[in-house]
Structure 1
Amino acid sequence: MSTFRALGVEGIPEVAAGDDLAELLLAGSVDGLPVAEGLRDGDILLVTSKIVSKAEGRIVLADDREAAIDAETVRVVARRGRTRIVENRQGLVMAAAGVDASNTPSGTVLLLPEDPDASARGLRKRLRELTGARIAVLVTDTFGRPWRNGLTDVAIGAAGLDVLEDHRGRTDSHGNELALTVTAVADELAAAADLVKGKATGRPVAVVRGLGHLVTEEDGPGVRPLIRNAAEDMFRLGTSEAIREAVTGRRTVRRFTDEPVDGGAVRRAVAAAVTAPAPHHTTPWRFVLLEDPDTRLRLLDAMLAAWNRDLSALDGWSAERIATRVRRGDVLRDAPYLVVPCLVTEGAHDYPDAARAAAEREMFVVAMGAAVQNLLVTLAGEGLGTAWVSSTMFCRDTVREVLALPAGWDPMGAVAVGRPADVPPPRPERGAETFIAVR
C-alpha cells in the first residue's frame, strides 16, 4: 500500500531581507535530524511564500494596504465592499493580490515573491549544492476557493515536480475510461503539508516524504500549467463584474461567422429579457425566434420588396440611395440567427387626449427597450454578438403577414445573433459625468 509522511521542519530562525534561505533551512531539523542530513532524494520541500518574500526583500512600507493591493493588481475579478478578488502580476487570482499585513512589522506589508517559480528553482539548486539531495520544491500560499468556505494552501511556485497529473485515457476500477480527470498534484501536496506547518506555529516549512516518483530531474514549467487562462475560465469574474463587462463589452456586430447559434442560449437570454420592468404589471414582450431557414428567407425577401417599394415612392430618392439604404439589412441576411422582438400593449390605459395616449405608449416602448437590452447583454455573456436593427419597424404589416403574427404584436426591429467574425477595436472609456445633471 502506498504511504507518505508530512514532516514539519523545526527550528528555522527569523528570515530577513538578503538571507540565504537555503542556509537558514540547514539550521532546522527534519524527522529528528539536521536538515543537511535529514533531506533525502525524492523528498518534496514545501516552503511558505512569506519567508521566501522576506528573504527576497519583498517587504514594503505601506500605511495604506489598499494602495499596495492596487499596485499588485492586473485585473479586478470581484469586489464586495473592501474585499477584492484580483488577478495579480504573477497571474494568480486571489484575495488582495496576495498582499499580507500579518507576520510583518507595523506599517509594512509583505508582497508575494516577484517570480515564485524562479524562487523555487533557486532554492532547489542551492539545497542540492548544500546537501546533495535531489528534491522538489514548492512555494505555497493560502487561498480561498470558489464554491467552498475555508482556506487552504496551494502551490504558487514549483521546481522539480509535474504540478498536474493527467489521468485521461486511463481506466478506473470498473474499466471506464477517464475523459476529464486531471489532478492538481502540487495543490494536494501544499494542502497536506499545511497540516504540519500551521498558520501561527512558527513552522513555515514542511517535507513530504514517500512520493519520490513525483520528483523530476528537470525543474519543469513551474505552476503555469495550474493557472487556467481567461478564455477557458467560466468563472473569471464575479457576478456584478461579469454583468458590467457584458454591458460595457457589448458591441453592435456587423459580420458573423457561419457557426450555428445554440437556441438554448437564445432562450436563456429571453428568460433574462422578460425580467425587465413594465407598466401596470403587464408583460408586454414577445420574441419571435427565426430558427427555420425557409421562414427567415421568406421574411427577408418580403421585407426587401417592401423597402424597395416604399423607398421608390419617396421624392428625390435615387436608385443608388435606395440600394445603399437597403444594404443596411444585409446584416440580417448574413447572421445565422434572428430574433424579432414584438411589443404587445395589452393592459395599456385608454386616454381621450393625444398627449396622454402618446405618453402611455412611450411607457411600453421603454419597457421593450429594457427587455431588448437584457437580451443583448445576456447574449454577450454567452459569447454571442448581436446587432439590433430597426428594419421590421418600417414594414410591420409585412412582418406580421409572413410570420402569421397576431394583429396586436408590434415588431420592434430585428436582432441578428451569431459569433462575431472580427475582434472589435478598443472602445474609449465613456465616463458618466458627461451624461449627468445634478440638481
Structure 2
Amino acid sequence: MAAAGGAASAGAPSGPPSYRVRAVGGIPEVRAGDDLATIIAGAAPDLVDGDVLLVTSKIVSKAEGRIVEAADREAAIDAETVRVVARRGTLRIVENRQGLVMAAAGVDASNTPAGTVLLLPKDPDASAEAIRAGIRAALGVEVGVVVTDTFGRPWRSGLTDVAIGAAGVRVLDDLRGGKDSHGNELSATVVASADELAAAGDLVKGKAAGFPVAVVSGLGHLVSADAGGGGRALVRSAADDMFRLGTSEAIRTAMTQRRTVRAFTDDPVDPGAVRRAVEAAVTAPAPHHTTPWRFVLLESEESRTRLLDAMRDAWVADLRRDGKSEEFIAKRVRRGQVLRDAPYLVVPCLVMDGSHTYGDARRDAAEREMFVVATGAGVQNFLVTLAGERLGSAWVSSTMFCRDVVREVLDLPDDWDPMGAVAVGHAAQAPRERAGRSADAFVAVR
C-alpha cells in the first residue's frame, strides 16, 4: 500500500514522495516468555535498514506476561489508574501508570482467555528498544520500532492506533522555524510522526484481522539510532494540558484546590480572566430572579492604594476607640497586608434590587439573608473560576467593617454593600496539600 505525502528515504529515485506499508503474516499466537524479535525476524526476514516496525501492544503484553487473573475488570482498572480524568456512567478516561490518558487505563478483556485481562506493557519504550535490538542481532539491520495501541480522541469520533512506545524513531518532527510553501514561518508545527506511523500500520493490521505487526518502508528519514524521547515524548505535560480534566472533574478539582493565597508574585493579572470569573459569578442562583451582585475591579495601583489607605485609617480609628494598644493595632493592620501585596483587587458588592419588603422585622431579615446567601454563591463561583484560570485569591472581610468609607473612596451608589475584598494574583508558591474531608461529618440524614 502506498501513500503520497511521505518522504522518500535517502538514495530513493526522484519523483513524488511515497512510502509502502504492509502487514506481516505468519505471526503465531504469542505466549508469556516468547522472544518477539525472533518471531518477527522469522516472519519478516526481508527487513532492511530504515524500515519501521509497528507492533501491536497486545502481543508485547502477552510476551511480557502482562495477563492477570481478574474476575472484576473494574478492579484491574483501579489498580492501573493514577488519576481519573473524566467519568460518564461506567466509562472512565484515566491517566494510567505509563502516563497515558485513555479509556479504562488500557486494561483489555478481548483477545485473552475468559477470566483474565491484558495490561499494557510496563515500559513500552523499553519494550520497543528490546525488539529493535533483537532485530539488529537476528538480521543485522537498523529498524525503528513503534509499539501501538488503540485510542479514542477528544473531539473526534472513532478509534485509531497511536504510538505508546518507540525506539529508533523520531516520534516528533519539529518544523518550527522552517518555512511553508508560501514562505511563511512555521511557529507551532510539531508533527506527531510516530502516531502517523501507528495509524498507517493500523490500516493493514486491522482490529480483528490477526495481523499484529506491520512494516512501513520508504520513510527512513524518521529512523535514527540516536532518536531520543520515545513514546513518552508524545504525552503532553500537565502544565501544557488545557484539557486535563472532564467537566465535572474540573469543577470538583477547582473547588477542592481553591485555596486562600496570602503571597503573590509580581506577575500581572489578565483582566480578561477576571471578567470571565465575573461572568461565572453572575450565574449563581438568586431570589426572585434578581441579580444581586456587583463587582468593582481595582485594576490600577493608585485605586488600590487609595482604598487600602482609607480603610486602614478607618480601622485604626475604630481600634483606638475600642481602647486597643498600639501593638495590638499594628498586628491587626499587618493582617491586611495580603490586600496590599496583591496586584489586583476586586470588591464584590450586594444590591437589594428586586427584594421584597414585608413590613415585619422577621420576614425582612430573612429576605436580606436570602440576598446575602446569593451574593456568597456568586463570590464562590468567582473564586472557583479564578482557580480554573490558575489565579490565586484571598477573600477577606475587611470592607464590611467600613462600608461607608469604601463607597466614598470608590464612588459607589449608596445601595451597594461591599461584601469584603478579594485579592487576586499568581500564587508565590504552591499551597500545601489539603487533607481530604469525608462528607459524613457534615451530613444529617432523616
TM-score range for the pair, normalised by the shorter chain length: over 0.9
CA distance in 1, matches of 2:329, 2:254: 35
Matched residue type, 2:276: R
Query: Conserved in 2, the CA contact under 8 Å of 1:393 and 1:413?
Result: yes
Partner of 1:63: 71
Aligned partner of 2:62 in structure 1 is: 54
Moved more, 390-399 or 319-328: 319-328
Task: Tell me how large the CA RMSD over aligned residues is.
Answer: 0.9
Q: TM-score, normalised by structure 2?
A: 0.95
Which of residues 134, 143, 155 in structure 1 aligns to 2:142? 134
Aligned equivalents of 1:221, 1:329: Cα separation in 2: 49
Task: Give the counterpart letter for 1:431 in structure 2.
Answer: S
Within a 5 Å distance, the mapping from 1:20-419 to structure 2 comes to 20-28=35-43, 35-36=44-45, 38-218=46-226, 220-315=228-323, 317-419=324-426
Deviation digits for residues 170-213 of structure 1, max 9, x if unmatched? 00111111011000000000001100000010011100000112
Confirm or deny: 8 A CA contact 1:389 1:415 kept in the other structure. Answer: yes
TM-score with structure 1 setting the length: 0.97
- Distance (Å, rounded) in 1 between the aligned partners of 2:175 and 2:138: 36
Letter in 1 for 2:436: E
In 1, the alpha carbon distance for the partners of 2:22 and 2:74 equals 36
Match of 2:26? 11
In the alignment, the residues of structure 1 paired with residue 267 and residue 300 of structure 2 have an alpha-carbon distance, to the nearest angstrom, of 16
Maintained 8 Å contact 1:282/1:347: yes
Q: Which amino acid aligns with 1:46?
A: L
Provide the rounded CA distance (Å) in 1 between the counterparts of 2:218 and 2:271: 52
- Provide the C-alpha distance between the structure 2 equivalents of 1:84 and 1:161, rounded to a whole number of angstroms: 31
2:351 partner letter:
V
Structure 2: runs of 5 or more not aligned: 1-15
Quick check: 1:429 aligned with 2:444?
A: no
Q: 5+ residue gaps in structure 1?
A: 29-34
- Distance in 1 between the 2:51 and 2:110 partners? 29
Q: Secondary structure at the match of 1:7?
A: strand
Query: Aligned partners of 2:30 and 2:193: how far apart in 1?
Result: 28
Query: Counterpart in 2 of 1:32?
Result: none
How far apart are 1:27 and its partner, in Å?
Answer: 4.3
How far apart, in 2, do the equivalents of 1:26 and 1:379 lie?
56
- Measured after TM superposition, the shift of residue 388 of structure 1 is 0.3
Query: Could you say what secondary structure the match of 1:4 adopts?
Result: strand
TM-superposition CA deviations, 1:301-330 (whole Å, max 9, x none): 111111111111114x21111221122211
Amino acid at match of 2:285: P
CA distance in 2, matches of 1:112, 1:375: 41
Displacement, 1:219? 5.8
Shift in Å at residue 220 of structure 1? Answer: 2.9
- Paired with 2:421 and 2:226, the residues of 1 have a C-alpha distance of 58
Structure 1 residue aligned with 2:7: none
Q: Is the 8 A contact 1:121 1:219 kept in 2?
A: no
Cα deviations by residue, 1:118-141 (Å, 9 ceiling, x for unpaired):
110001111111111211111000
Runs of 4+ in structure 1 over 4 Å off: none
* Identical columns (%): 73
Amino acid at match of 2:235: I
Aligned residue pairs, count: 431
Partner of 2:332, secondary structure, is helix
What CA deviation, in whole Å up to 9, does each residue of 1:147-179 have, x standing for no partner?
111110000110111100000110011111101
State the Cα distance separating 1:25 from its structure 2 match: 2.0
**What letter corresponds to residue 403 of structure 1 in structure 2?**
L
